[in-house]
Amino acid sequence: MKRLLTPLPIWLILADTVYTFTLNILQSFNPGQSLLPKDGLPVSPDIAFGWLQAATHGGMAILIGFGLWTLLKLNQSVLRQQDFPVGVFRALGLTAVLAFGIPSLWLWSVSLSVPAEGGGIAWDSPRYLAVSLCQAAAACLCLHRLAVLYLLRRRTARGRLCG
């Protein structure tokens, strides 16, 4: 059951990232009707600079996607109680997951600690609410799996010394 439930937040974040990136690409190719200044001339044409946002979002999607994929592999190997070699790129990927997940975890803890004032939770956007919950869950999962991996390596090293 753990193999099915623990990666669920990660898959939801990946699906939302792909969905948002697709929307961003579609908007960059099909710019909406933007308001023109009073003289009728736009300051910069959307077609000239619209791709910059899509390229930036694509880079972020690749970075976060790699980090989440690394977290999926870490989760899988720890659940099987196998070693997971963490090199430079995998460490950077997990750091990216933590860099996006820990602020979400912090904001959820602050929002839930002040329930009398409404907590600052925006209930009108369920997709963003779900993704922020999943980001916090992914950060907790990453920290937990890294701790279990440390204990697994420590137990393996202790077994080698004794045996």
Length of the chain: 163
Where on the phi/psi map is residue 110: left (φ > 0), alpha (ψ -120 to 50), or beta? Answer: alpha
DSSP at 43: S
Residue-level pLDDT, tens digit, the chain, 163 residues: 667 788 999 999 999 999 999 988 887 776 655 555 566 555 556 666 667 888 888 999 999 999 999 999 999 999 999 999 999 999 999 999 999 999 999 988 888 777 656 556 777 888 999 999 999 999 999 999 999 999 998 888 777 666 5
Q: Both tokens of residue 152?
A: 């697994």
Q: Both tokens of residue 11?
A: 């898959």
pTM for the complete prediction? Answer: 0.81
Alpha-carbon gap, residue 6 to 27, rounded angstroms? 33
Amino acid type, 2: K
Alpha-carbon gap, residue 127 to 123, rounded angstroms? 10
Residue 143, CA atoms < 13 Å, CB-side half-sphere: 10
pLDDT confidence of residue 46: 60
Alpha-carbon gap, residue 115 to 107, rounded angstroms? 13
**Helix orientation angle between 8-29 and 126-162, rounded to the nearest 10 degrees:** 130
